Every structure is written in C-alpha cells, then in structure tokens.
C-alpha cells in the first residue's frame, strides 16, 4: 500500500531525511518511533503530498502522492481545526473535500463521530471543546472517508485516557477493515496495544524494522531481588526468567520480594535516543 524508497529532504543545511525507506502493507499498523528530529513528521508530509522530497520515490497503491490524496487520511501533530465551526460543520467540510456528498456524507459524519465518541458534541463549536475532544475531532477528519492509508502523527499527545482509548480502538478497527496505518508516537505502550510492527528512525533513516519481539531480542531486562537485611540486588539480563532460576539456588538468605522485568519498547526507544 505504502512504498517509500531512499527519500531525502534538506532544509538549508539541515538534513531531515537521508535515504528514508519504509513500506507498509494493507491491514498493517506500523509504529514509527524515534527521537525528535528523526524525520518522522517530514516523512508524513511527503507521503501526504504536502512536502516535495529532494530525491527518492514514494507511492500509495502505486500512485504518486499528488494523485493519491483521495486514498489518504492525515492527522498532523499540530491541531488544524477551525475553532468557530461546530464539529459537524468541520466533518462535513473535510468530508466534502474528499468527495463525499449528501447521504454518504451525512452517514459518514454520524458513524465517525460515534466511533470516536463525539456524538454528544457534534453541534458544539470546536473552540469550546476539551483538548481531548479536539484531538478526536482531528482524527475524525482523517478517518471520515475511510481512506486506504491513515497517517497519524502523534495523535494522542496530551490526550486524556478516554481520547487515547477511543483513538486506539478506531485505529485497530480501520486496520482490521484493510487500511494501512502509519502511527508515530512517543508513547510506546500504545504500539503494544495496537499490535503494531515497528520502524525505528534516526537521523533521517529507518535503522530497524520488524515486530516488537524481533527488535527487542537481545535488549536487557532486569531481575531485582529484595532482602530484609541488605540492599536489593539488581541484575541486568536479556533472559530474566532464566537468570532468576539460576540465582535462586545460590541465595543463602531469605527474600522479601522479587521483580522480573522483560525488555520493553521503552528500552528500545532509549537505545535509539542515545545511539
């Protein structure tokens, strides 16, 4: 569905993308992670046809971005809504821009609002909404026409738990229906809940791509043992369960507690952020 190869983009002397290659299949949720400046937002802008790359190629269902806009749904990191318009007016506007008309448009507005828990605020002005409701409204503008490719750039930043859960449920439903989803986030537990594959970006390139299990293999977890009479023992290990089984027979004093922490996506992100 999405095929980007060797994309480069520079702003003056600053290189945003330096050979960025990334593919996403229909029905796949791909989590794009990396520290600030890794090129995630620039990449989303190129796919959406808002930014022209200096080199490389990108296609959506075999089409260049400028011819594939009807297949795309973009929710940018910064809110891009009209505060004086109601939620209903906002969705009708964005739906109309994608080609929805009359009955199809009305049905899409109602269904998407319910999906993102906006039904009770459809006739409220966007500027009067909570931050979480505005986030959901922005996501709704991207999902309204049921695009084949969803680009969600930090869609839950600063969001309340209700907003986060509504968005995650909607994303999973769209992927189950066959949409390809690119989901950038710094909140890594979301990617675990979404069952996303991962792409790790650094300095304008994707440096690792695969499932969470594949990318976490070899990263250290930790075993913590707590004792009544001395300080706790902390043992880094790539196999916490095996390490714990080896440690227990060697202990000569009673334990007051045991914690086993397997490698997580947060560990992966820390490795990327400092490397």
What distances in angstroms separate CA 206 from CA 84, 147, 160, 190, one per listed residue? 40, 25, 30, 20
For residues 229 and 199, state if they share a domain. Answer: no
Containing domain of residue 17, as a range?
A: 2-215
- The strands making up 14-24's β-sheet, listed across from edge to edge, are 14-24, 2-11, 55-60
Predicted confidence at residue 77, as pLDDT, reads 87
For residues 123 and 210, state if they share a domain. Answer: yes
Closest C-alpha to 157, from 130, 193, 128, 131: 131
Q: Which residues are 30's β-sheet partners? A: 182, 197
For residues 161 and 257, state if they share a domain. Answer: no
For residues 122 and 198, state if they share a domain. Answer: yes
For residues 143 and 251, state if they share a domain. Answer: no
For residues 161 and 59, state if they share a domain. Answer: yes
For residues 85 and 11, state if they share a domain. Answer: yes
For residues 138 and 225, state if they share a domain. Answer: no
For residues 230 and 270, state if they share a domain. Answer: yes
Q: Position of tokens 């002397």? A: 13
Q: Give the chain's domain count.
A: 2
Q: Averaged in consecutive runs of 10 residues, what is the pLDDT profile of the chain (275 residues)?
A: 97 95 97 88 92 96 93 92 97 94 96 95 96 94 96 88 92 97 90 93 92 84 90 90 91 90 76 59
Instruction: Single out the residue in 185, 215, 245 at which a domain terminates.
Output: 215
For residues 244 and 210, state if they share a domain. Answer: no
Predicted confidence at residue 225, as pLDDT, reads 94
For residues 164 and 109, state if they share a domain. Answer: yes
Predicted confidence at residue 271, as pLDDT, reads 66
Instruction: Single out the residue in 200, 215, 230 at which a domain terminates.
Output: 215
What digits encode the pLDDT tens for the residues 53-90? 999 999 999 999 999 989 999 999 889 999 999 999 99
Instruction: Single out the residue in 215, 245, 266 at which a domain terminates.
Output: 215
Q: Where are the beta strands (DSSP E) in 167-269?
A: 180-184, 197-202, 205-210, 221-227, 233-237, 255-261
Closest C-alpha to 43, from 81, 70, 12, 3: 3
For residues 143 and 40, state if they share a domain. Answer: yes
Residue 61: give its domain's CATH number. 3.40.50.300
């Amino acid at each position: 569905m999405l095929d980007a190869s060797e994309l480069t983009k520079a702003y003056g002397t600053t290189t945003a993308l330096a050979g960025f290659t990334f593919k996403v299949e229909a029905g796949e949720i791909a989590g794009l992670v990396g520290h600030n400046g890794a090129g995630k937002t620039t990449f989303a802008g190129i796919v959406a046809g808002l930014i022209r790359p200096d080199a490389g190629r990108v296609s959506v269902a075999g089409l260049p971005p400028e011819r594939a806009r009807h297949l795309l749904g973009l929710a940018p990191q910064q809110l891009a809504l009209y505060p004086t318009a109601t939620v209903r007016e906002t969705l009708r506007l964005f739906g109309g821009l994608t080609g929805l008309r009359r009955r199809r448009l009305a049905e899409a507005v109602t269904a998407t609002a319910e999906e993102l828990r906006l039904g009770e605020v459809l006739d409220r002005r966007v500027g009067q909404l909570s931050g979480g409701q505005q986030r959901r409204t922005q996501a709704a503008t991207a999902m309204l026409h049921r695009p084949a490719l969803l680009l969600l750039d930090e869609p839950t930043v600063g969001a309340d738990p209700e907003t986060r859960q509504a968005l995650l449920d909607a994303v999973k439903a769209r992927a189950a229906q066959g949409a390809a989803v690119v989901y950038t986030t710094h909140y890594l537990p979301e990617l675990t809940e979404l069952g996303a594959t991962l792409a790790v970006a650094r300095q304008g390139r994707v440096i690792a791509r695969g499932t969470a299990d594949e990318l976490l293999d070899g990263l250290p977890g930790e075993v913590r043992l707590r004792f009544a009479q001395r300080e706790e023992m902390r043992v880094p290990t790539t196999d916490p369960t095996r390490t714990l089984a080896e440690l227990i027979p060697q202990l000569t004093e009673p334990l007051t507690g045991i914690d086993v922490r397997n490698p997580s996506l947060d560990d992966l992100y820390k490795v990327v952020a400092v490397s």
